[in-house]
């Protein structure tokens, strides 16, 4: 089969690799789509991955083979990723106590979905309802990150919320914040294409922080500052902006993975007793929430998808996404 193989910093090569075989508890999936994630871009650009790795974790596809122990699936089922068995009290991934997201590219990982076929644990996939297309289902993972962030942010009915960074997770977070009760959701990004999509998805107002002082604009609109800021950008200035623009006792959720030093001047916000919390990944049960939100058409994905490329075009797509000023929001790879 064909697969996109990481060779070194900034190099993906599509080449022939052996077809996967199912383990006893695994399925083989013919990959329909795999969305390009920002974390994949970072690992690709910084070389933070073992050579020979096949990335891709935002996928949908069709079951074509089953291990002998697999129950509940059959050949022909449409499936997408999920977190695994729901077990109250032990839903979070079992990471080491000093786990760092930087290390993840060097952990032993099964080959991912930038390939024509993929083997995965049957526990780690769920069936796609008829109301959801394969293309939509490939975005379940970033939606579930946003669901997790908004759920633990404790956004309340009537809150003023600011989303910093209108990438896929930010745009899903914008929609989830509105569903959770936020009265107004403001969105900040330097990419005009992403701001246009944010408006299409219902943002109350959008800002380009390279043209305006975001903190002053939010304080002017809210008088006392935002209730909640969702930091989804990871740019040099955005953590400081998020901490500054919230009100006394305001809350900042950090989901972004900044790979370089960022600005931080505590004297500007410590006096307001701001609460900051990080979030990473998702609970297993939250995949089912995401699936239901898509199934019930509470979440829109269409405006976010800028381009669909073939597997043979993946190197060019990664390069284009990394170019400053590109107008892409979400690029999805069609693997077959």
Residue 92 sits in a domain whose CATH number is: 3.90.180.10
Are residues 175 and 213 both part of a single domain? yes
Within a domain: 244: yes
Are residues 239 and 258 both part of a single domain? yes
- Token pair 């995949």 is found at 287
Contact 140, 296 (CB under 8 A): no
Are residues 59 and 13 both part of a single domain? yes
* Residue 100 domain boundaries: 2-139+301-334
Are residues 246 and 194 both part of a single domain? yes
Contact 36, 331 (CB under 8 A): yes
Nearest C-alpha neighbor of 218 from the set 193, 250, 195, 196: 250
- At a CB cut-off of 8 Å and minimum separation 6, what does 19 contact? 1, 117
Are residues 155 and 192 both part of a single domain? yes
Are residues 85 and 179 both part of a single domain? no
Within a domain: 189: yes
Are β-strands 330-334 and 26-35 bridged in parallel, bridged antiparallel, or unpaired? antiparallel
Contact 64, 117 (CB under 8 A): yes
The pTM of this model reads 0.93
**Number of compact structural domains in the chain:** 2
Contact 238, 213 (CB under 8 A): no
Within a domain: 296: no
Nearest C-alpha neighbor of 107 from the set 56, 36, 48, 46: 48
- At a CB cut-off of 8 Å and minimum separation 6, what does 136 contact? 294, 301
What is the pLDDT tens value at each position of the chain, 336 positions in all? Answer: 999 999 999 999 999 999 999 999 999 999 999 999 988 998 899 888 889 999 999 999 999 999 999 999 999 999 999 987 766 555 656 566 676 766 665 555 789 999 999 999 999 999 999 999 999 999 999 999 999 999 999 999 999 999 999 999 999 999 999 999 999 999 999 999 999 999 999 999 999 999 999 999 999 999 999 999 999 999 999 999 999 999 999 999 999 988 889 999 999 999 999 999 999 888 889 999 999 999 999 999 999 999 999 999 999 999 999 998 899 999 999 999
Within a domain: 283: no
């Amino acid at each position: 089969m064909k697969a996109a193989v990481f060779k070194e910093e900034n190099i993906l090569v599509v080449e022939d690799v052996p077809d996967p075989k199912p383990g006893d508890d695994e399925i083989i999936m013919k990959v329909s789509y795999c969305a390009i994630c920002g974390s994949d871009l970072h690992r690709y650009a910084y070389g933070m991955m073992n050579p020979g790795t096949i990335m891709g974790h935002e996928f949908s596809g069709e079951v074509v083979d089953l291990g002998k122990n697999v129950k509940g699936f059959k050949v022909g089922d449409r499936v997408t990723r999920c977190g695994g068995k729901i077990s109250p009290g032990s839903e979070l991934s079992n990471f080491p106590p000093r786990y760092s997201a930087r290390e993840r590219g060097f952990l032993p990982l099964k080959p991912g979905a930038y390939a024509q076929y993929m083997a995965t644990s049957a526990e780690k996939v769920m069936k796609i309802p008829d109301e959801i297309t394969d293309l939509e289902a490939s975005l379940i993972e970033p939606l579930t990150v946003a669901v997790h962030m908004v759920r633990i942010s404790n956004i309340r009915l009537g809150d003023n919320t600011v989303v910093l960074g209108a990438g896929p997770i930010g745009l899903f977070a914008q929609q989830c914040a509105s569903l959770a009760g936020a009265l107004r959701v403001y969105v900040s990004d330097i990419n005009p294409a992403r701001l246009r999509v944010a408006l299409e998805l219902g943002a109350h107002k959008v800002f380009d922080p390279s043209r305006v002082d975001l903190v002053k604009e939010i304080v002017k609109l809210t008088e006392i500052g935002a209730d909640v800021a969702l930091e989804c950008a990871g740019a040099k200035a955005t953590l400081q902006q998020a901490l500054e623009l919230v009100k006394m006792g305001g809350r900042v959720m950090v989901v972004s993975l900044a790979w370089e030093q960022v600005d931080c001047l505590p004297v500007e916000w410590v006096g307001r007793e701001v609460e900051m919390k990080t979030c990473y990944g998702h609970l297993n049960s939250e995949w089912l929430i995401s699936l239901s939100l898509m199934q019930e058409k509470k979440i829109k994905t269409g405006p976010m998808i800028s381009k669909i490329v073939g597997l043979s075009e993946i190197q060019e797509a990664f390069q284009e996404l990394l170019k400053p000023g590109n107008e892409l929001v979400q690029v999805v790879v069609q693997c077959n």
